[in-house]
Structure 1
């Protein structure tokens, strides 16, 4: 049965998290949490939700000069593109990812609503680039135990949790052995 071939019994799908294994060797994804926005036979993509960049939104977008919120590194693919997730259903053409979590929509509407303070900046996360996998690539990485698939996702975890704590909190929320993973040191030689 396909359901049980995954290490934690969840298959990847839109609205779930990919949590990197504690000792994942890829420095691009060390202690990373990716919100999957799409997963199908053509591939998968999402955004790293816990890696702030050094850039502020005002440095990236001329139309948002008064906003000093950090822009996140969404992943290693096309880092010259800007994307966003939000918890605001008033943005036209937004794609519902899960519950109160949305991806994209009319960018001009977001800019206008932010500038008019109709939506709070804490309710929108901007990303440079994204994380993407070709057909079957994510499944191969799951077989190699690179990722843990997490079904515990809510807007509080993504928008209200300190980014440095998202990886740990997501694992803690899963309980069992995953709570133990959350306590692993970054470098076990320093333990």
Structure 2
């Protein structure tokens, strides 16, 4: 099995699930037991500052880094937060995914947002998408998803409304030309 960890899953036009229509999902874990990812292009109706207020975390006012939205990371564990950011070694619960990307789940990163210790770029998600063993592979075989290596530029510097289109452009073909039939050589 080829792991898709540190890849982006792009929902194809054949994926009819309204929760995942035109989503881009960052895959944090993929192994024989299943997969776990964070949707990175569905802003929630919640700002970072509103979330910090709810958690009673003090932050500097008028900080540009905190003006963005929290993202709907997926339908599972919506009370769980995940921060995708460039690697830093100062957080209690982090996993380095690549030289460019780290995922942190500890409160200490939230407490640092807006300070000089904060990551220079970040995406904050609530919830995650999960697949049981073999489920993601089956959905890939049905042309529901396509995968590309994770791209920090797309993650951190592309507006959320453009992430699906920019990700599909990296495929090198028109995703709208895909059909529901899967061929086997």
TM-score category by the smaller chain? 0.7 to 0.9
Structure 2 counterpart of 1:107: 107
Q: CA deviation at 1:98?
A: 2.2
Distance 1:129 1:105, change over 3 A: closer
Structure 2 counterpart of 1:95: 95
- Residues 25-57 of structure 1, C-alpha deviations (whole Å, 9 max, x = no match): 110000011110000111100100111111012
For 2:40 and 2:177, the matched residues in 1 are separated by: 20
Contact 2:58 2:111 in 1 (8 A): no
Note if 1:32 corresponds to 2:23.
Answer: yes
For 1:183 and 1:140, the matched residues in 2 are separated by: 20
For 2:106 and 2:20, the matched residues in 1 are separated by: 29
Q: CA deviation at 1:106?
A: 4.1
For 2:111 and 2:89, the matched residues in 1 are separated by: 12
Aligned match for 1:162, one of 135, 138, 159: 159
Note if 1:147 corresponds to 2:142.
Answer: no
Structure 1 counterpart of 2:128: 130
- Residues 138-168 of structure 1, C-alpha deviations (whole Å, 9 max, x = no match): 11111211100112x2211101101111111
Paired residues, number: 169
Structure 2 counterpart of 1:189: none
Distance 1:105 1:77, change over 3 A: closer
Q: Secondary structure at the match of 1:22?
A: coil
For 1:172 and 1:12, the matched residues in 2 are separated by: 22
Q: Which structure is higher in helix share?
A: 1
Tell me the TM-score normalized by structure 1. Answer: 0.79
For 1:106 and 1:163, the matched residues in 2 are separated by: 24
- Residues 60-86 of structure 1, C-alpha deviations (whole Å, 9 max, x = no match): 222155433210000111112211111
Q: Secondary structure at the match of 2:113?
A: helix
RMSD of aligned alpha carbons:
2.2
Distance 1:64 1:125, change over 3 A: farther
For 1:136 and 1:163, the matched residues in 2 are separated by: 29
Tell me the TM-score normalized by structure 2. Answer: 0.82
Note if 1:80 corresponds to 2:71.
Answer: no
Gaps of 5+ in 1: 3-10, 185-191
